[in-house]
Structure 1
Amino acid sequence: MILFLAARPVTAPPVRPAPRRRPRFRPLAPYRRILAVPGARAFTAANLLARLPMGMFSVSAVLMIAGSRGSYALAGAVTATGLAATALAGPWTARMVDRHGQSRVAVPATAFAVLGSLSLLLCVHLRAPDWTLFASYAATATTPNTGGMSRARWAHLFRDDPAARHTANSFEQAADELCFMLGPVLATLLCTTLFPEAGTAVAATLLLTGVLLFAARRDTEPPVAARPAGTHGQRAATPLRLPGLPPLLLTFLATGAIFGSLEVVTLAYADDHGIRSAAGGMLALQAAGSGAAGLLYGLLRPAGRLGDRFLTCVGAMAGLMLLPLAAAATGSAPALAAALLAAGMATAPTMVTGMGLVQARTPADRLNEGMTLAVTALLGGIAAGAAAGGFAVDHLAAPAAAYGVPATAAALALTLARSGRRAW
């Protein structure tokens, strides 16, 4: 019997398949992945501290100068002069960063820019002649492109991972919008509750502190790219000659005019309606809509050609920019705030896609310069938009009509993007 039982084949009991577990929905997983890189969180936090003043300086200057001199046209002209000077000096500073490294160039350039901000503060406080305001604000032109340096670090860390670079670029754009969301609120709060010069003083302190901490993180700093053999002592060709880049920069120029005019016009609109202290919050809503859209855009897998996506984003931005013009005509501040929130939702996707185009068309050894040229175009547009917005506020019957300036700039950006589509 024992031999009979031992000879029988042994069959295993039926195995029931394990229940299938649904994959957990982790919407922030791509962002956790890029921030898990050693040193990424440290340089990101330092860069955010350095970038926050970018949303404070112009608002602080407008509130400080307009409150002291009683002219939004003068305030807009001063900020436009400073931004135009930055547009000229920015590419040179970025070229020095590409050639000598971030930490060696960013710190002295920032120190000089901070001295210019403090000079502007003193000139306003001491009621110096108007020309000193222009000279002081122009001295801030050496402010390094902190956002561009951060993007260059991501590009180096994920040089072989396009999906991670897309997520990092979206994160950086959302960080830009966060700074431009919190910056105007903080600047308005400081200038209206403490004293008019408080916004500029705090912004200068934050900028210098943030750049010092960012430059200290040498572990994630991209190495200085070796110059091609035979080019030592020769002047490298400017990225402006790269195919497709000029029409892209012109589109950035018109996009900057949207931002510059929208800021000045919104400040004047709030002042005209007796809600000056709420101006920063209204501008923050526009940045909040852009930041939220940027984070969502970073979770998507980009499809289609990059140039086509950029044209679509610019078209959406042009359409949404009509909302503030319509809302301002109603005279309702809450309606305008809601329109600014909606209008900002196309900004970050436009900037993310545009910066992707710049990175795709710029050599690695000129990446800081290429991205700074894009920022330079934006700053030039912001300068022109600020001046045009201030002129419109002072010469039109109502500040609400001045919202036609950003709407016109958006239409121009769409026209320029359509003209450059074939080159992209």
Structure 2
Amino acid sequence: MTNPYARIFAERGAKGFAAAGFLARMPMAMAPIGIVAMLSQSHGEYWLAGAVSATYALTNALLAPQISRLVDRVGQTPVLLPATLIAAAAFGLLMLAANQDWPIWTLYASALAAAVLPSYPAMIRARWSALFRDRPELNTAFAFESAADELVYITGASLSVGLSIAVFPEAGMLASTLALLIGGLAFIAQRQTEPVPKATARTSAGSAIRQRPVQIVALALIFVGAIFATAEVGAVAITEALGEPGAASLVIGVYAVGSFVVGLVVGALNIRLPLQRQLAIAVAILAVTALPLPFVSTVPALALAVFASGVAISPTFITAFGLIERRVPEAMLTEGVTWVMTGMGIGMALGAFVAGWVVDSFGPFNSFWVSVAAAFLALLTVLLGQRTLAGDARRPVGLQPQPAE
């Protein structure tokens, strides 16, 4: 049997932009927690660290889709190059402000400027779409990207915090910024795989968020992001309550690794079920596997339940991005993918906040009720949106061989 991942990387330029893009997306996981680790040590105030990090994350969530919309209109290089350099310079100013004890407003100003960081996961997926449009290999490419996102989240946050604690407070942010510069500039330099802008007067006048499929998938991913964040908060709180706080990293690792492996397996398969139904099945599995989580009482049981709960995360991401690629006009593709990524980020922020409130108010073992509620809300969103997601494709279907209906 031919390795499907070998096929996608045999395409000219694929290895280069995938490797560069992996580095360029590291700030996605490293920067928010790196800001917290840096400022909590340099200023000794967690509220300040959290506020500056939230300023960066929320502003980036608002700006990233607009940046991607501009990319769809004029191309990747004219937008990515200045945005990447500005973000890297702003991160540098933020590190300098923290190290030199500059006025507090400079921390916020630097964080706001750094928020122009482009969504490199969306840029990478746009390149895969340009290479494999209307071909089954695109499903495998999206599966690889979902697994890569998982790997970044697994390693990035831990690396950022570990460097800040073990080396010096700014070390995590420094590593994140270097990854952005090296990976981003290498990605931009590979012009041969850059998608050609295809915006028209009609498509460029509107935003991808006005597209019903984008609204449905982004809303569903808000709830899925909440599940992802609740798993992390719940694992930390419950293992601490059980007297084994060191087990939290193991539990979180099991959760992410399970999703990573299943995502690679799904990407290697040529599933012939329409994508909107695949998404409904994946989210239904999320909902069912979330039900045992509030009832765990030991670390081994928690690890097992979390592993089971995580197996459908990557398939959910794979089918969600596949639907966006099929249902959104080509001239809006990068922005559409970015809105979905933004939805996931918003969900993670909201999920962490709500789960933390539940831990403080009702105890750590009740935190996973947030996962249960979020999973069933995601399922309801996807089920109600089935007719829209199964609508006429914007071009002949090639990702799966049969019609969506």
Which bracket does the TM-score occupy, shorter chain normalised? 0.7 to 0.9
Measured after TM superposition, the shift of residue 245 of structure 1 is 2.9
1:165 maps to 2:138: yes
**C-alpha deviations, 1:60-112, integer Å up to 9, x for none?**
33444556677777655554443321221011100121122212211221222
Shift of the 123–274 alpha-carbon distance from structure 1 to 2, 3 Å rule, reads farther
Does residue 406 (structure 1) correspond to residue 347 (structure 2)? The answer is no
In structure 2, distance between residues paired with 1:198 and 1:243: 42
Q: Which residue among 220, 228, 231 is the counterpart of 1:259?
A: 228
Equivalent residue for 2:176, pick from 193, 196, 203: 203
CA distance in 1, matches of 2:57, 2:275: 29
In structure 2, distance between residues paired with 1:244 and 1:108: 31
CA contact (8 A) 1:76 1:387 kept: no
Q: Which runs of 5+ in 2 are unaligned?
A: 390-405
Q: 2:71 aligns with which of 89, 97, 113?
A: 97
Distance 1:67 1:407, change over 3 A: farther
Between stretches 299-308 and 234-243, larger displacement belongs to: 234-243
Aligned to 2:152: 179
Contact 2:69–2:207 (Cα < 8 Å) also in 1: no
Give the stretch that moved more between structures: 274-283 or 179-188: 274-283
Amino acid at match of 1:383: A
1:44 is aligned to 2:9: no
- Cα distance, 1:75–1:342 mapped onto 2, change above 3 Å: farther
Counterpart position of 2:314:
348
In structure 1, the residue corresponding to 2:388 is in which secondary structure?
coil
- Aligned AA (2:254): L
Residues 202/154 of structure 1: CA separation in 2 closer, same or farther (3 Å cut): same
Match of 2:381 in 1: 416
Q: What is the TM-score of this pair, normalised by structure 2?
A: 0.85
Output the amino acid matched with 2:374.
Answer: A
Q: What corresponds to 1:311 in structure 2? A: 280
**Aligned to 2:12, what secondary structure does the other structure show?**
coil
Q: Given the alignment of the two structures, is residue 144 of structure 1 paired with residue 118 of structure 2, yes or no?
A: yes
- Which of 236, 245, 264 is the aligned partner of 1:295? 264
- Worse-matched range after superposition: 406-415 or 120-129: 120-129
Q: Does 1:320 align with 2:295?
A: no
Given the superposition, is the C-alpha separation of residues 59 and 279 from structure 1 closer, same or farther in structure 2, using an over 3 Å criterion?
farther
Offset of residue 398 of structure 1: 3.8
**Which sits farther off after the overlay, 208-217 or 235-244?**
235-244
Distance 1:238 1:102, change over 3 A: same
- Structure 1 residue 387 displacement after superposition: 2.8
Q: For the Cα contact (< 8 Å) 1:294–1:348, is it kept in 2?
A: yes
Deviation at 1:405, TM superposition (A): 2.8
Structure 1 unaligned segments of length 5 or more: list them.
1-24
**Equivalent residue, structure 2, for 1:384:** 350
Q: Which residue, out of 333, 358, 362, partners 1:367?
A: 333
Range with greater deviation from structure 2 (179-188 or 273-282): 273-282
Q: Cα deviation per residue 1:283-311 (whole Å; 9 max; x = unaligned)?
A: 33322111111110012122222211111
**Partner AA of 2:223 in structure 1:** A
Aligned equivalent of 1:20: none
Contact persistence 1:73–1:387 (CA under 8 A): no
Q: Is the alpha carbon distance of 1:345 and 1:148 closer, same or farther for their aligned partners in structure 2, counting shifts above 3 Å?
A: same
Given candidates 186, 194, 198, the residue that maps to 1:213 is: 186
The answer (yes or no) to whether the contact 2:36–2:53 under 8 Å persists in 1 is: yes
Task: State percent identity of aligned pairs.
Answer: 38
Answer yes or no: is the 8 Å Cα contact 1:182–1:284 preserved in 2. no
Is residue 339 of structure 2 the alignment partner of residue 339 of structure 1?
no
Corresponding residue of 1:10: none
